[in-house]
């Protein structure tokens, strides 16, 4: 819609409106690609796609840490109030301070991540062969039986 309005403004000779509508269109496209993509997990690793077009693929061997982070970091250490939780896939191992910074500066630019649900966590738990780290995430662990 914004791109169409930018075209109409340019056709009418209103270049300031055309630039503003064009910038808004670019912002909407960026957000749609960032949050409208699909993350697929399988035995080979992770892959992110947008409308079926592969955008990024990472084998499990390139992932150093998988974790769950709760974004409500100033909750007085109340495990019942973690805030919004996400499962992240990091190319490097993080320490406690790095996880705190990760929660403060969410979303990360160099990691793939997905919103936490019990089903997604169970799928990741079945595919990941190491410990799943947590930071301010409350009780997230479930039995696979």
pTM above the 0.75 mark?
no
For 36, counting Cβ atoms within 10 Å of its Cβ (0-12 exposed, 13-18 middle, 19+ buried), the class is exposed
Is the Cβ–Cβ distance between 64 and 76 less than 8 Å? no
Counting the structural domains of the chain, the total is 2
Residue 52 CB partners (closer than 8 Å, separation 6+): none
CA distance 78 to 39: 30
Whether residue 141 is contained in a domain is answered as no
Instruction: Write the CATH number for 43.
Output: 2.30.29
Q: Are residues 28 and 46 in the same domain?
A: no
pLDDT tens per residue, range 1-28: 666 666 667 777 777 877 887 888 888 8
The predicted model gives 51-58 an average pLDDT of 86
More confident: 68 or 82: 68
Measure the CA–CA gap between 3 and 117, rounded to whole angstroms.
35
Question: What average pLDDT does the chain have?
Answer: 83
């Amino acid at each position: 819609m914004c791109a169409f309005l930018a075209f109409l403004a340019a056709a009418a000779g209103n270049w300031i409106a055309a630039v503003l509508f064009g910038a808004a269109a670019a912002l909407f496209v960026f957000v749609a690609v960032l949050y409208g993509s699909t993350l697929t997990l399988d035995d080979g690793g992770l892959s992110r796609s947008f409308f079926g077009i592969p955008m990024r693929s990472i084998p499990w061997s390139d992932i150093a840490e998988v974790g769950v982070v709760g974004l409500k970091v100033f909750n007085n250490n109340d495990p019942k109030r973690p805030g919004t939780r996400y499962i992240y896939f990091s190319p490097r191992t993080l320490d406690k301070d790095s996880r705190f910074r990760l929660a403060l500066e969410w979303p990360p630019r160099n990691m793939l991540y997905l919103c936490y649900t019990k089903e997604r966590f169970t799928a990741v738990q079945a595919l990941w062969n190491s410990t799943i780290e947590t930071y301010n995430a409350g009780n997230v662990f479930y039995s696979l039986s």
